[in-house]
Chain A
Amino acid sequence: MSLTLKIDARPPRSKLVIEKSSFDDEKSRHRKNVEQHHFNHMVELFIPGCAELPPSIQAEFDRSDDYYLIKDVPLTELINQDFIENFIKKGSFYMLSHNTHIDKHNAYAVLPTGQLILSVHKDTYEELGLVGQPSQFNRKVKRKFVVEVDLTQDIFVPGKKNYERVKQGLQRTELKADFLLSWKPEGNRQLAGSILSHFQSSYKCERHSQVQQTTRHTELLLPVVNSTELEESEEGEWCTAREWYEWLGAVCCGISCNEAPEHYISRYCCPDPNEVTAAAVRHSMTGFIPPGKVWTLQEAVRSYMRESKSPSPWAALTVHGFVDSPVSWARREHGFHHGGENLYTFLIFRDSTYWLFQAVGTNDFCP
């Protein structure tokens, strides 16, 4: 018996969206972009021209914004009335199932808008009894289904038909998961830690801080970019946006770009034209990062760039989303396929213009 292996020879259909705008523009959607990308795994800041991270930005990185890992939480806990009233409705609440692979397991997420997103398998869906949509990425063979439950609706209270149905469905299927959780209360009257005490009595909870890492580069070749022009110039005075982004990816992955083109391991070299910078710093933070934190970081970088004494021509802030998150931006469905990448990069120039790169993998919608 011969085994024929069907190999999809096509390359994965990744998408990259590049846009150019200014922070001062009223129609600029930079804030929306940051806030709608709910689940961020890593933030990486690359500043050329300085050997150390500027203290104002370092302080922003160091400001504690802990997240919690709660183990074996049944989903019925999430529709608990007290829980909805005290936490989900009061503040920005982010919750994502941990160690669940979106292409293999059921994955769950609670968005700050109050939606509970269940990305469940066919068998679970049939038993759950809640109406959802088949996943956009395998429409022919319906393997996955996405169910959305709006937790903050006024009529979503015990005794109502919809609530009871959701409750029964979750009880019947006994869905359970580990959750990553981050909560920032509205105003400062309540402490963010109070959410921990809510779960501590019945479940195993862990408190985590984001892990930070700094890498310093010396004598790095920087491609020259022109903040007003994304495309190539006729005389070759600057690099295109795509070339720059490829270069940034290479630098972030630690690929040496100064090698000769015939080097054995990597033939990649910095695109032309380029210039040498004496030092550059790359700082990353890994963990469960709420968009609010990304936003404050971005503000810090912008104010640093506005300062006249800053030696850097630009700064790049890259944010990677969770590969196994059921949503990428807002409520757009996200899948894994080959890599599950969903990330965006702000290339911030000194004159408050920016380039926004949004990159997604195959199983994702164009942002």
Chain B
Amino acid sequence: MAENKDQDLLYQPLPQYVSGEKEKLGLQELSCPKDKFVESFLDRQIQNFKPSEKKELKKSYLLLDLPYRQKPTVAKKKTTLNSKEKKAKKVYDIPPEHQKYPLYIPLHNLWLQYIKDLLQVTPTSNLTMLQKKMLKADLHGALVTVCKSRCPSYVGLTGIILQERKHVFKIITKDDKLKTVPKANSVFSVEFEGLRAKIYGNHFCLRSARRANKKFKLPMTNQTIDL
């Protein structure tokens, strides 16, 4: 109850011995609003008090009995792993027992279907349009061959793309080996629908998601297909 009593004390009128001798102490009721008084008071007391500073005055009042309490922040519930954790947990690594070529033939068939739906190749279809679509197509499941490379040991490698990263393709070959082939300095060829597309790896060093949004400028000027 003592606390309540203190609070009440704060808002009580001035004691009798003060209010009784108001005139002696020179106290008087404010004739203007409180904030105006503060401003005029500062005007009087501070030299060169600029009007711009006036605006910066904080027009809030501290309450003596109710101190400001910060709201406790509620921690957001985490739903995904960050890339470091993904790496530690080997989320994207393909375990050796899953590195079997026959396992991914359905994926390849799925991709063939997907590319058929996407491109809608007819004998009269425009090649540049196909090219643009092909640039943005997803390549997971495509059967690619390295047809040219600066490093000769990659040449002739054939397999289904399992992963596409920014700089490499991960390919499973017919003899059940997972190969990592850098995109840079290689030319890949993809066959579908009786067409063959060549992928110049030097211009393809992008994440697949970024590639779908990127605007490729055609025809490419000042760029070489030389490895």
Q: Do A and B belong to a common assembly? A: yes
A residues adjacent to B (C-beta < 8 A): 125-132, 165, 168-169, 172
The reply to whether A126 and B153 form a contact with Cβ atoms under 8 Å apart is: no
For the complex, is B140 an interface residue (Cβ under 8 Å from A)?
Answer: no
CA distance A203 to B154 in the complex (A): 33
Residues of A within 8 A of B156 (CB): 129, 165, 168-169, 172
The reply to whether B153 and A127 form a contact with Cβ atoms under 8 Å apart is: no
For the complex, is B194 an interface residue (Cβ under 8 Å from A)?
Answer: no
Stretch from B128-136, B142-150, B205-213 forming part of the interface with A = B142-150
Closest chain-A Cβ to B160's Cβ sits at a distance in Å of 20
Closest chain-B Cβ to A124's Cβ sits at a distance in Å of 10
17 A-B Cβ contacts within 8 A? A126-B148, A126-B149, A126-B155, A127-B155, A128-B155, A129-B149, A129-B153, A129-B154, A129-B155, A129-B156, A130-B152, A131-B152, A132-B152, A168-B156, A169-B155, A169-B156, A172-B147
- Other than the given A125-B152, A127-B147, 20 more pairs (CB < 8 A) read A126-B148, A126-B149, A126-B155, A126-B227, A127-B148, A129-B149, A129-B152, A129-B153, A129-B154, A129-B155, A129-B156, A130-B152, A131-B152, A131-B153, A132-B152, A165-B156, A168-B156, A169-B155, A169-B156, A172-B147
CA distance A132 to B153 in the complex (A): 10
CA distance A127 to B145 in the complex (A): 12
CA distance A126 to B226 in the complex (A): 10
Residues of B within 8 A of A169 (CB): 155-156
Closest chain-A Cβ to B187's Cβ sits at a distance in Å of 8
Closest chain-B Cβ to A235's Cβ sits at a distance in Å of 62
Which 9 pairs of residues, A with B, have the shortest CB-CB distance? A129-B155, A126-B148, A129-B152, A129-B156, A131-B152, A127-B148, A168-B156, A130-B152, A126-B227
| Interface footprint category on B | 10 to 19
Closest chain-B Cβ to A145's Cβ sits at a distance in Å of 9
Query: Which residue of chain A is the closest to B155 with respect to CB atoms?
Result: A129
B residues adjacent to A (C-beta < 8 A): 147-150, 152-156, 227
CA distance A41 to B208 in the complex (A): 58
Residues of A within 8 A of B155 (CB): 126-129, 169, 172
Closest chain-A Cβ to B211's Cβ sits at a distance in Å of 24
CA distance A165 to B154 in the complex (A): 11
CA distance A161 to B153 in the complex (A): 13
Residues of A within 8 A of B148 (CB): 126-127
**Chain A CB within 10 Å, residue with most, of B147, B148, B150, B153:** B148
Closest chain-A Cβ to B176's Cβ sits at a distance in Å of 16
Residues of B within 8 A of A126 (CB): 148-150, 152, 155, 227
Closest chain-A Cβ to B100's Cβ sits at a distance in Å of 21
Query: Which residue of chain B is the closest to A164 with respect to CB atoms?
Result: B156
CA distance A129 to B154 in the complex (A): 7
CA distance A172 to B145 in the complex (A): 12
Query: Which residue of chain B is the closest to A127 with respect to CB atoms?
Result: B148
Residues of A within 8 A of B227 (CB): 126
Residues of A within 8 A of B149 (CB): 126, 129
Residues of A within 8 A of B147 (CB): 127, 172
Closest chain-A Cβ to B226's Cβ sits at a distance in Å of 8
